[in-house]
Amino acid sequence: MSSNAPIGVFDSGVGGLTVVKEIMNQIPEESIIYFGDTARLPYGSKSKETIITYTRQIIHFLMGKGVKVIVVACNTASALALETIKEEINIPILGVVKPGAKVATDTTRNGKIGIIATEGTIQSGIYNDYIHQLNPQLQVFGKPCPLLVPLVEEGLLDDSVTTEMVRRYTKELLEKDIDTLVLGCTHYPLLRKTIQKVVGDQIALVNPAYETARSLKEVLIQNDLDKKDMEKPSHQFFVSDGAEKFKRFAKSILPCEVVETKDVNIENY
Amino acid sequence: MSSNAPIGVFDSGVGGLTVVKEIMNQIPEESIIYFGDTARLPYGSKSKETIITYTRQIIHFLMGKGVKVIVVACNTASALALETIKEEINIPILGVVKPGAKVATDTTRNGKIGIIATEGTIQSGIYNDYIHQLNPQLQVFGKPCPLLVPLVEEGLLDDSVTTEMVRRYTKELLEKDIDTLVLGCTHYPLLRKTIQKVVGDQIALVNPAYETARSLKEVLIQNDLDKKDMEKPSHQFFVSDGAEKFKRFAKSILPCEVVETKDVNIENY
């Protein structure tokens, strides 16, 4: 595998671009191939079997593009499919949950951590597991927030309805006296301001994207896969539906020019 | 084709059960095979090409089960895929849009009709087209309501957040002085009370499900496909994900016992 090959990143849709943005900030020399499964989103309320099937197709697509490492930039897929898929491929693969769990563990002072995420991620119990591997003393409280992804997709980032839903979703976590809240879905960093306003400044918000990009950098170096040539990076974006809509969104959050976005028939992979 | 064969009905998820309920009320002797594409819902914001691909796979699945007629119990698929698919199969197929347009046309007194539906349905302009075929004088105003499906799926049928979203979505339609409002998505009849409360009693709500079942009955008789034997009907339910969750929902809205719900790998059809 060439160390100059691109990094593969995927998500159910646009949310994973918050991870891409961090990767571009921290290792700007690397090329990225992104896939967003916009035809089949959202992943959050679907079963483990379905998420594994979808993930397997996407991995197959990305490996066909010659990627050297894969980042599962989707909490639901990281929670439900990563362990299974890892056994099936021969390149490094990392998710967003483990990095997020690490930062949360390092951040909390009172030992009480809240997780907001999709139904699939919360039901998997995976944040709980990873955090307890790092420190069995910590208390972890999870809350599924199924309406936050549709609200973000509708662009209601700073809106009374979104504020009301965030209030309902975080109420019981605040009652548990958490001091740290993990944004356990790649869409949620786009709601950071609203969430911070609702929970108050005394609660630390953890965005796994930053730590994921840091872990990725380490994995590349450990495997001697960090880019060696001096060529400018080139990025490619693929989606399973609505390339134009995706492109507009990507342009609004990424620091680079999004030259081209292509539609892919992912069910054939 | 045997007139004792079952009727095939499909939707992106549970919404189409509001149509199944009407069919069971109006022609209780008929057997039904239902498919809900729960792995790939929602359909409302996806492209025409994707909806046609999904519809084709589902039609293939239902025809493999020997259905005598197909009801597209999803406004988005009726709007985006029905015309294309009709040319490809040799059994009768009907959607929910044409019947809905007919009732709206018969209902309005001041000639101003509002349509609330998904983005896909509104953008297709199909309600407009059908209504104008029936009466070119009528004025039609459409409004996409992308958050209503997720709100129904979350069970927030009678909730302040849902009321607020319905208020926003219907505001400009009310300003146009409509007297008739089409519930142009099979999920929306589940919000009938909330919608009626927001728009007021002077506005007539049109649920295409009733008229669809009536049209279906006519189509069966015209094609000599109405059930002739005296055997009790038997119904089967299939979904592409989450059979148990679907079964609980179906039980809560259908008048019959939902004996079995099976998972289907629809991408293979």
A202 touches chain B (CB under 8 A): no
Strand partners, A206: A182
User: In A, which residues are within 8 Å of B164 by CB distance?
Assistant: 160-161
User: In A, which residues are within 8 Å of B50 by CB distance?
Assistant: 39, 240-241
User: In B, which residues are within 8 Å of A160 by CB distance?
Assistant: 164
| Alpha-carbon span B53 to B163, nearest angstrom | 35
Closest CA to A44 of A69, A11, A86, A87: A11
Give the per-residue pLDDT at B155.
86
What does each of the 269 residues of chain A score in pLDDT, given as a tens digit? 799 999 999 999 999 999 999 999 999 999 999 999 999 999 998 999 999 999 999 999 999 999 999 999 999 999 999 999 999 999 999 999 999 999 999 999 999 999 999 999 999 999 999 999 999 999 999 999 999 999 998 889 999 999 999 999 999 999 999 999 999 999 999 999 999 999 999 999 999 999 999 999 999 999 999 999 999 999 999 999 989 888 988 988 898 877 778 889 998 88
Percentage above 90 pLDDT, chain B: 86
Q: Distance of CA A268 to CAs A8, A152, B74, Å?
A: 18, 29, 25
User: In A, which residues are within 8 Å of B267 by CB distance?
Assistant: 267
Span B95-139, pLDDT tens digits: 999 999 999 999 999 999 999 999 999 999 999 999 999 999 999
Closest CA to A43 of A53, A32, A29, A31: A53
Closest CA to B123 of B75, B180, B175: B75
Residue among A14, A37, A38, A46 with most chain B CBs within 10 A, to mutate:
A46
Residue among B37, B46, B187, B263 with most chain A CBs within 10 A, to mutate:
B46
Q: Which residue of A has its CA nearest to B145?
A: A154
Q: Which two tokens stand for residue B245?
A: 């969750």
Give the per-residue pLDDT at B263.
87
Distance from CA of B38 to the nearest CA of A (A): 8
Distance from CA of B50 to the nearest CA of A (A): 7
Contact B47 A154 (CB under 8 A): no
Residue B63's φ and ψ, nearest 5 degrees, are -65, -35
Residue among B50, B119, B123, B246 with most chain A CBs within 10 A, to mutate:
B50
Domain map (residue ranges) of chain A = 7-95+210-268, 97-208
Give the per-residue pLDDT at A252.
85
Residue B93's φ and ψ, nearest 5 degrees, are -140, 135
Residue with more model confidence, B45 or B94: B94
Q: Mean pLDDT across the stretch B186-190? A: 94
- Which of A109-113, B203-207, B230-234 has the weakest average pLDDT? B230-234
DSSP string, B123-174: HHTHHHHHHHHH-TT-EEEEEE-TTHHHHHHTT-SS-HHHHHHHHHHHHHHH
Q: Are A242 and A264 in contact (CB under 8 A)?
A: no
- Kind and range of the H or E run holding B82: helix B82-86
Distance from CA of A151 to the nearest CA of B (A): 7
Closest CA to B178 of B186, B189, B169: B169
Please name the residues between 71 and 130 in chain A that touch chain B, using a CB distance below 8 Å: none
Catalytic residue, from B77, B185, B206, B216: name it.
B185
Distance from CA of A226 to the nearest CA of B (A): 37
User: In B, which residues are within 8 Å of A166 by CB distance?
Assistant: none
| Alpha-carbon span A252 to B130, nearest angstrom | 38
Q: Is residue B268 over pLDDT 90?
A: no
Q: Do domains B7-95+210-268 and B97-208 have the same CATH topology?
A: yes
User: In A, which residues are within 8 Å of B146 by CB distance?
Assistant: 150, 153-154
Q: Which two tokens stand for residue A19?
A: 């991870």
A151 touches chain B (CB under 8 A): yes
How would you classify the pairing of strands A204-206 and A236-239? Answer: unpaired
B157 touches chain A (CB under 8 A): no
Span B152-178, pLDDT tens digits: 988 899 999 999 999 999 999 999 999
Contact A147 B151 (CB under 8 A): yes
Angle at A95 between CA A89 and CA A96, to 5 degrees: 175
Distance from CA of B242 to the nearest CA of A (A): 6
Q: Is residue B206 over pLDDT 80?
A: yes
Residue among A37, A40, A143, A266 with most chain B CBs within 10 A, to mutate:
A40
Span B214-223, pLDDT tens digits: 999 999 999 9
Q: Is residue B1 over pLDDT 80?
A: no
Residue A250's φ and ψ, nearest 5 degrees, are -60, -45
A256 is catalytic: no
pTM: 0.91
CB burial class (10 A; 0-12, 13-18, 19+) of residue A8?
buried
Residue A121, helix vs strand vs coil? helix
What CATH number does the domain located at A97-208 have? 3.40.50.1860
- Kind and range of the H or E run holding B189: none
Q: Which residue of A has its CA nearest to B44?
A: A39
ipTM value: 0.88
Contact A45 B153 (CB under 8 A): yes
Span B28-81, pLDDT tens digits: 999 999 999 999 999 998 999 999 999 999 999 999 999 999 999 999 999 999
Q: Residue A211 carries which DSSP code?
A: H
B185: left (phi over 0), alpha (psi -120 to 50) or beta: beta
What CATH number does the domain located at B7-95+210-268 have? 3.40.50.1860
Q: Which residue of A has its CA nearest to B242?
A: A47
B267 touches chain A (CB under 8 A): yes
Residue B259's φ and ψ, nearest 5 degrees, are -70, -45
Residue A151, helix vs strand vs coil? helix
Distance from CA of B29 to the nearest CA of A (A): 34
Catalytic residue, from A74, A94, A190, A205: name it.
A74
Give the per-residue pLDDT at A258.
78
Give the per-residue pLDDT at A28.
96
Torsion sign, CA atoms B112, B117, B119, B125? negative
Angle at B242 between CA B60 and CA B244, to 5 degrees: 115
